[in-house]
């Protein structure tokens, strides 16, 4: 006997007005391009998305069509077609197709049906998730952890409304129009700006801080868990009204007028936000039209433009990855004038009442040691293009952009025996031609780049505060973080000052968090270099146990002048010997400046077996100039 699964009611979700509006507008006009939902854990991102999908108007599909063709407007190139006029059809709910983070490309796009190829020797296409999601919702949880090439595939299909497959002897094109919804926790890593721009709308979701609302959220969630059917029934009328309103707005969209004045206003706002390209203008225009249709208007107003811009532009605003977020609302108010538009109807957001009636509110919603008086806090200059450092030898880690590795993405450099991996056809043919018997299948050896753990071990002692060194050091480290961001590395931060070392940031994919910790880093006290190296080694050991395939790159930023404890310099060199014996790839960035230098950082690099780089040569452009001067 099947157990009925109840989805949390959309109307019962409160505290997520922007998310509700963004999902609603994409339901009204899927050409907007989907929604990216960013927020910390436990903010009802997934709950709201699933509740939204459950309320979308049902679709009519041709019987037996694996691509969900509409009988009134079938896809002329449908692989299961052509469908004759008046083809038998049926009505079904909209699908919510979930894409796992570890999905392979052929699962997403579809591929050759291996069973039929082996049994019948026929090349038949087996649809993938892009086909299943046609006329529905494609949901990607933790989209920031998905491989870039898969994100590109999704966004291309969402933008074009079609998917083309050319692989394994299969050549297929089919319709693939869906509402793309991706969720992510920024602390686990960011999306590249190029991918961020491809999402039509973006919403940041945070948990409410009001105690009464938080209490009501818990109360309502517990009521749903105790009696899902009864709780859902109490919100059925509101959810049904939302579905009817979406259907009406969809029919109204083609009739909405976008005047020349409104179009110029959109262009002015996009230009003021300093966005790249024209996608922002187009998405804002489509969103404004959908917003007008949602409110039953036949012409786009300033209120529609303001609401659209708040959802479509902030994530496209040009900025460095580590810049502090700016207040987009103030800029919009200045450009468009007037007060904020009235809140749009959506999930209830009034925490005042209990859960027994839908009209009541509530819901599920979406540094170092030492005396501070003797420390100083230095700011950093603008980051520069950092010199590229990589791990020695060839690894086998996850695909990335830093060190050489045997991966699944890259160029073919040879072949091997084995039972897994892509077949190297020429090598297999050669082996079979000269073999008497037995399996002679050869697999490709693919060499590309891998992602690494970049652990920064930063000297924050008093000597770094002298001569404004900390500004230069922070600028160099920020630049290294920016390089790690672009190469999709995991980063960690160990600092040492006073009498000990601290893990300021355990290894994480969020370089924004690392940059924030670095900016807050004070300088002062003695230099416990040995303790810093010991703590860095321990951090690398712990991470290796959790992720043994990810190789580490240790970057030590110091002048090498160890002063804390007895035999401070010798203990630091002994600690360096231990790290070198573990085979850890290292770089020493020497922060020592001035005419007279002790050269202790160079000695440290020698004992570590590390690459030695003066802090001024971390800047790749400056280094190019230095090399040219020395060669002249």
Residues annotated as catalytic are: 279
The strand pairing partners of 590, in sequence order, are 558, 614
* Measured CA distances, 629 to 617, 619, 623, 625 (Å): 13, 15, 10, 6
Q: Which single residue is written with the structure tokens 């433009």?
A: 305
| Structure letter (DSSP) for residue 619 | B
Query: Which token pair is 31?
Result: 């050409």
CA distances from 298 to 219, 250, 289 (A): 41, 12, 9
Kind and range of the H or E run holding 248: helix 236-252
- Report how far residue 252's alpha carbon sits from residue 290's, in angstroms, rounded to the nearest whole number: 9
Phi/psi for 232 (5° steps) reads: -65, -40
The owner of tokens 């031609």 is 433
Nearest to 562 by CA among 484, 477, 461, 491: 461
- CA 443 – CA 310 distance, rounded (Å): 50
DSSP labels, 6-20 = PPPPGGGEES-HHHH
| Stretch (H or E) spanning 233 | helix 228-234
Q: Is residue 402 within 8 Å of residue 390, measured between CB atoms?
A: yes
The DSSP bridge partners found for residue 185 are none
Parallel/antiparallel/unpaired status of strands 442-450 and 552-558: unpaired
For 490-508, letters b (16+ CB in 10 Å) and e give bbbbbbbbbebbbbbbebb
Residue 207 CB-density burial (10 A; 0-12 exposed, 13-18 middle, 19+ buried): middle
Query: Which of 571, 498, 584, 495 is CA-nearest to residue 537?
Result: 584
Structure tokens at 533: 């190296």
d(CA 386, CA 483): 6
Among candidate residues 469, 480, 473, the one with its CA nearest the CA of residue 554? 480
Q: Are 586 and 609 in contact (CB under 8 A)?
A: yes
Closest CA to 77 of 134, 35, 118: 134
Do the Cβ atoms of 66 and 76 come closer than 8 Å? no
> What is the token pair recorded at 260?
């020349």
Contact 22, 201 (CB under 8 A): yes
**In the structure encoding, which two tokens stand for residue 108, read together?**
């997403």
- φ, ψ for residue 183 (rounded to 5)? -120, 155
Distance CA 626, CA 632 (A): 10
Residue 32 CB-half CA count within 13 A: 34
């Amino acid at each position: 006997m099947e157990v009925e699964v109840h989805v949390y009611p959309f109307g019962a979700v409160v505290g997520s007005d922007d998310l509700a509006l963004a999902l609603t507008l994409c339901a009204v006009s899927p050409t907007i391009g989907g929604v990216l939902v960013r927020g910390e854990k436990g903010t009802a991102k997934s709950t709201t998305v699933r509740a939204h999908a459950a309320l979308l108007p049902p679709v009519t599909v041709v019987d037996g069509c694996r691509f969900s063709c509409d009988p009134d407007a079938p896809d002329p190139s449908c692989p299961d077609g052509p469908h004759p006029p008046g083809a038998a059809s049926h009505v079904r709910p909209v699908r919510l197709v979930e894409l796992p983070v570890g999905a392979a490309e052929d699962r997403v796009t579809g591929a050759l049906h291996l069973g039929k190829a082996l049994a019948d020797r026929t090349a038949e296409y087996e649809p993938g998730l892009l086909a299943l999601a046609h006329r529905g919702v494609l949901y990607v949880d933790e989209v920031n952890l998905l491989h870039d090439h898969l994100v590109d595939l999704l966004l291309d299909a969402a933008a074009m409304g079609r998917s083309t497959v050319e692989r394994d002897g299969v050549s297929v094109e089919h319709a693939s129009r869906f509402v793309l919804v991706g969720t992510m926790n920024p602390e686990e890593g960011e999306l590249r700006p190029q991918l961020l721009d491809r999402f039509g709308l973006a919403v940041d979701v945070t948990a409410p801080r009001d105690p009464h609302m938080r209490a009501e959220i818990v109360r309502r969630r517990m009521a749903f868990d105790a009696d899902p059917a009864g709780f859902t029934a109490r919100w059925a009328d509101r959810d049904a009204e939302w579905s009817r309103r979406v259907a009406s707005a969809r029919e109204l969209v083609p009739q909405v007028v976008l005047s020349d004045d409104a179009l110029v206003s959109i262009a002015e706002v996009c230009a003021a936000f300093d966005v790249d390209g024209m996608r922002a203008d187009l998405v804002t225009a489509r969103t404004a039209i959908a917003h007008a249709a949602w409110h039953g208007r036949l012409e786009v107003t300033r209120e529609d433009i303001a609401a659209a811009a708040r959802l479509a532009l902030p994530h496209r605003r040009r900025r460095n990855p580590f810049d502090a977020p700016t207040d987009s609302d103030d800029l919009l108010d200045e450009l468009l004038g007037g007060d904020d538009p009235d809140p749009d109807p959506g999930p209830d957001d009034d925490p005042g009442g209990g859960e027994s009636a839908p009209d009541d509110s509530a819901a599920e919603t979406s540094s170092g040691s030492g005396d501070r008086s003797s420390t100083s806090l230095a700011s950093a200059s603008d980051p520069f293009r950092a010199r590229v450092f990589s791990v020695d030898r060839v690894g086998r880690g996850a695909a990335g952009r830093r060190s050489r590795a045997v991966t699944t993405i890259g160029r073919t450099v040879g072949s091997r025996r084995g039972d897994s991996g892509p077949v190297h056809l020429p090598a297999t043919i050669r082996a079979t031609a000269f073999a008497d018997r037995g399996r002679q299948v050869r697999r490709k050896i693919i060499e590309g780049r891998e992602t690494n753990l970049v652990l920064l071990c930063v000297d924050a002692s008093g000597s770094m505060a002298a001569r404004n060194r900390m500004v230069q050091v922070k600028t160099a480290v920020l630049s290294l973080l920016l390089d790690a961001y672009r190469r999709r590395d995991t980063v960690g931060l160990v600092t040492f000052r006073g009498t000990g070392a601290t893990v300021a940031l355990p290894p994480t994919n969020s370089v924004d968090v690392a940059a924030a910790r670095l900016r807050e880093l004070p300088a002062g006290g003695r230099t416990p270099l040995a303790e810093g190296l010991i703590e860095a080694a321990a951090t690398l050991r712990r991470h290796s146990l959790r992720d043994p395939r990810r190789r580490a790159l240790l970057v030590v930023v110091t002048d090498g002048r160890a002063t804390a404890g007895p035999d401070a310099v010798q203990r630091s060199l002994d600690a360096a010997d231990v790290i070198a014996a573990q085979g850890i790839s290292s770089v020493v960035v020497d922060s020592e400046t001035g005419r007279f230098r002790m050269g202790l950082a160079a000695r440290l690099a020698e004992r570590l077996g590390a690459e030695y780089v003066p802090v001024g040569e971390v800047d790749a452009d400056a280094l190019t100039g230095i090399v040219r001067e020395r060669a002249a």
